[in-house]
């Protein structure tokens, strides 16, 4: 139970809530974290041989069970009184019934362990858009990740004591039994309970659970957007600044785009990072502004190397927690694509990750600290498609942009346990992360657009188109700067474009993409029949929603007509 001093710090309300859970889970002690406990947790994990000290400075390796090394969408639920409020794309549970079951699972689950109380702020501390929460966990690895990924601070407690709304998260490792793995959200109650898992997206509750699922629910009520997007500030040689955000499904290159390095063709261009995974967008004076709720990156290690992403390599060479990467004889971390002279003892999980503070990244945007955030001038949707989608196109309007976002389908990746490598509908890259009915979410996007006098233009990108031999046509990574440049010039009205039925594509005779014309022709090819099939598949998908917005149906009709004629 809490000590007198702890109760004084936490206040009565919060103390009661915590003691309630402690009575059920029965930990041997309760520890409140206030932000400076990283070393202590690392020491404990090392002593218990749960962490491997690596050769890189202050870097460590943690291994989760192979069946617990990615998000489990099948175990993720939205618990609302009415099933319809969760919508057809979420797993739904009755809140009363599941609470009972979860409390049974939680019974004595922390016996002999420490329960950590983790108070946190999401977003810039002084931002009117920031949110607070408290998470309980019995897992040192999860607590350590929280210390890097969220702003863990006593100040959160002070805000809660003053009466601010907060999210309450309960995480218990239990026996890591996948059959009893539950990640349950109670959006109306601002509560999250996660059991029998310790993998990032399932267990680090500030990330997907709070910053997206619970936040998206709040965002609809309060008139803003919580999105699975990265965001960057791009500065051109004329020193003009642009805000670009992009929604791609997991493992489709958000972190790589967020940390892109302008190479020699882009002398005097600068790219600064705002967020690599999640942003909260608010309207201010008719414009869209984004803040990053997180304070760190939980990025994909596999495939990252000096060639593909030297910026990230520099950042993760110290002070980083690696999860499920491989190992060399020399105790260096290892994964596919990384060079090493040492013998490889162990391979990496395809979803191996690094956790690092965003403050360690050398090109952080000053807007990361701005209470109102970065102004967004262009929004990108993108996915992993070997066919059909051109490298880039600009949609004709906010509504059509929302429609293309809603139509987003992607080849699934190792970020999720289930359905690896299938084509899956993933509207706005938010399907796994939305805390309410998706039809209402589409409508919310349309409404949000109406508030914006200066609307960001909406583009679609696809780095993953392949040729007949199955090879990627576009080199991707730092070469994506060509696309970023086109998007900026386009937003400024500086370049012409070719009108196609889906939107504007670049006039690549005039605009340099650093690539031969034949390949560009392939990258921008519009296959009429295949597009008509895409629209008809989209229609089928949209038919699962009872209240699909009429505006979007009408836009889809128009699109189809244009493609036919």
* Nearest approach, Cβ of residue 215 and ligand OXD (Å): 14
Supply the DSSP symbol for 383. -
- Are 319 and 356 contacting, i.e. CB atoms less than 8 angstroms apart? yes
- In whole angstroms, give the CA distance from residue 313 to residue 266: 21
Buried b (16+ CB within 10 A) or exposed e, 291-301: bbbbbbbbbbb
Alpha carbon of 233 to those of 292, 298, 383: distances in Å? 13, 20, 21
What three-state secondary structure class fits 296?
strand
User: What backbone torsions phi and psi does residue 159 show, to the nearest 5 degrees?
Assistant: -65, -40
User: What backbone torsions phi and psi does residue 538 show, to the nearest 5 degrees?
Assistant: -60, -45
- In whole angstroms, give the CA distance from residue 415 to residue 275: 19
Counting residues that bind Mn ion (by CB under 5 A) gives 2
- The packing angle between helices 398-407 and 528-542, to 10°, is 80
Which tokens is 557 given? 């009709």
Cβ–Cβ contacts within 10 Å for residue 120, how many?
Answer: 29
415 contact choice in ligand OXD, Mn ion, none (CB below 5 to 8 Å, kind-dependent): ligand OXD
* Nearest approach, Cβ of residue 277 and ligand OXD (Å): 5
Q: Where are the beta strands (DSSP E) in 104-190?
A: 114-122, 131-137, 151-152, 166-172, 182-186
Alpha carbon of 284 to those of 225, 244, 257: distances in Å? 13, 17, 26
- In whole angstroms, give the CA distance from residue 433 to residue 76: 9
- Are 214 and 167 contacting, i.e. CB atoms less than 8 angstroms apart? yes
Please identify, using beta-carbon distances, which residue of 277 and 319 lies nearer to ligand OXD.
277
- Are 486 and 440 contacting, i.e. CB atoms less than 8 angstroms apart? no
* Nearest approach, Cβ of residue 294 and ligand OXD (Å): 10
Binding mask 257-296 for Mn ion (x = CB under 5 A): --------------------x-------------------
Indicate the burial class of 543 (C-beta count within 10 angstroms; 0-12, 13-18, 19 or more).
Answer: exposed
Please identify, using beta-carbon distances, which residue of 408 and 415 lies nearer to ligand OXD.
415
Please identify, using beta-carbon distances, which residue of 244 and 429 lies nearer to ligand OXD.
429
Residue with tokens 């502004």: 289
Alpha carbon of 419 to those of 67, 78, 106, 414, 416: distances in Å? 14, 20, 29, 9, 8
Please identify, using beta-carbon distances, which residue of 275 and 365 lies nearer to ligand OXD.
275
* Nearest approach, Cβ of residue 298 and Mn ion (Å): 8
Cβ–Cβ contacts within 10 Å for residue 61, how many?
Answer: 21
Catalytic (active site) residue 174: no
Which tokens is 468 given? 């007949």
Please identify, using beta-carbon distances, which residue of 25 and 202 lies nearer to ligand OXD.
202
Given 59, 174, 209, 252, which residue is catalytic? Answer: 252
* Nearest approach, Cβ of residue 304 and ligand OXD (Å): 14
- The helix (run of H) or strand (run of E) holding residue 269 is none
375 contact choice in Mn ion, ligand OXD, none (CB below 5 to 8 Å, kind-dependent): none
Please identify, using beta-carbon distances, which residue of 375 and 431 lies nearer to ligand OXD.
431
- In whole angstroms, give the CA distance from residue 287 to residue 312: 31
* Nearest approach, Cβ of residue 361 and Mn ion (Å): 17
* Nearest approach, Cβ of residue 73 and Mn ion (Å): 13
Alpha helices in 317-428 (DSSP H): 398-407
The residues of the shown chain that bind ligand OXD, judged by CB under 6 A, are 71, 200-201, 250, 277, 298, 415
Please identify, using beta-carbon distances, which residue of 277 and 377 lies nearer to ligand OXD.
277
- In whole angstroms, give the CA distance from residue 559 to residue 460: 15
* Nearest approach, Cβ of residue 164 and Mn ion (Å): 27
Chain centre to alpha carbon of residue 55: 29
Residue in the shown chain whose Cβ atom is closest to ligand OXD: 250
Cβ–Cβ contacts within 10 Å for residue 505, how many?
Answer: 20
Query: Rule CB under 5 A: is residue 399 a binding residue for Mn ion?
Result: no
* Nearest approach, Cβ of residue 221 and ligand OXD (Å): 24
Q: Which stretch binds Mn ion (CB under 5 A): 178-186, 242-250, 487-495, 552-560?
A: 242-250
200 contact choice in ligand OXD, Mn ion, none (CB below 5 to 8 Å, kind-dependent): ligand OXD
Give the footprint of Mn ion on this chain (CB under 5 A).
Answer: 250, 277
Instruction: Give the residue numbers annotated as catalytic, written as ranges.
Output: 252
């Amino acid at each position: 139970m809490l000590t007198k001093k702890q109760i004084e710090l936490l206040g009565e309300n919060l103390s009661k809530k915590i003691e309630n859970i402690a009575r059920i889970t029965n930990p041997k002690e309760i520890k409140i974290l206030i932000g400076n406990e990283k070393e202590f947790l690392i020491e404990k994990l090392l002593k218990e041989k749960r962490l491997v000290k690596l050769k890189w400075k202050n870097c460590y390796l943690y291994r989760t069970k192979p069946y617990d090394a990615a998000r489990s969408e099948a175990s993720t639920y939205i618990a609302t009184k009415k099933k319809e409020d969760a919508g057809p794309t979420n797993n739904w549970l009755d809140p009363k019934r599941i609470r009972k079951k979860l409390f049974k699972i939680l019974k004595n689950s922390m016996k002999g362990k420490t329960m950590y109380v983790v108070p946190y702020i999401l977003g810039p501390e002084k931002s009117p858009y920031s949110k607070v929460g408290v998470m309980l966990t019995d897992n040192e690895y999860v607590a350590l990740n929280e210390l890097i990924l969220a702003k863990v601070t006593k100040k959160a407690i002070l805000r809660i004591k003053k009466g601010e709304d907060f999210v309450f998260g309960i995480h218990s490792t239990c026996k890591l039994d996948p059959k009893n793995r539950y990640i349950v959200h109670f959006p109306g109650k601002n509560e999250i309970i996660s059991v029998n898992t310790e993998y990032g997206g399932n267990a680090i509750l500030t990330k997907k659970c709070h910053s997206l699922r619970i936040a998206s629910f709040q965002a609809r009520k309060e008139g803003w957007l919580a999105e699975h997007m990265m965001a960057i500030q791009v500065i051109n040689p004329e020193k003009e600044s642009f805000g670009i955000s992009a929604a791609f499904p997991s493992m489709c290159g958000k972190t790589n785009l967020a940390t892109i390095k302008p190479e020699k063709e882009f002398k005097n261009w600068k790219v600064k990072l705002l967020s690599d995974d999640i942003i909260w967008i608010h309207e201010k004076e008719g414009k869209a502004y984004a803040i990053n709720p997180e304070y760190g990156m939980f990025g994909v290690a596999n495939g990252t190397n000096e060639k593909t992403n030297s910026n990230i390599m520099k950042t993760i060479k110290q002070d980083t927690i690696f999860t499920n990467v491989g190992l060399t004889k020399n105790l260096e971390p290892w994964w596919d694509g990384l060079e090493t002279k040492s013998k490889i003892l162990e391979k990496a999980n395809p979803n191996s990750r690094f956790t690092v503070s965003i403050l360690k990244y050398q090109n952080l945007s000053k807007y990361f600290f701005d209470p109102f955030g970065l102004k967004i001038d262009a929004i990108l949707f993108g996915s992993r498609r070997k066919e059909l989608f051109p490298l880039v196109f600009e949609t004709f309007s906010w509504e059509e942009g929302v429609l293309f976002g809603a139509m987003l389908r992607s080849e699934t990746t190792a970020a999720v346990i289930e359905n690896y490598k299938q084509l899956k509908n993933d509207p706005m890259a938010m399907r796994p992360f939305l805390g309410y009915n998706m039809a209402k979410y589409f409508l919310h996007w349309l409404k949000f657009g109406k508030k914006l006098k200066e609307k960001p233009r909406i583009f679609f990108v696809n780095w993953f188109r392949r040729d007949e031999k199955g090879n990627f046509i576009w080199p991707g990574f730092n070469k994506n700067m060509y696309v970023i440049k086109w998007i900026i010039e386009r937003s400024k009205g500086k370049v012409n474009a070719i009108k196609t039925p889906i939107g504007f594509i670049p006039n690549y005779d005039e605009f340099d993409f650093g690539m031969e014309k034949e390949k560009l022709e392939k990258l921008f090819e519009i296959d009429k029949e295949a597009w008509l099939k895409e629209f008809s598949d989209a229609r089928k998908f949209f038919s699962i929603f009872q209240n699909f917005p009429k505006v979007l149906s009408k836009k889809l009709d128009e699109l189809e007509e244009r493609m036919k004629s």
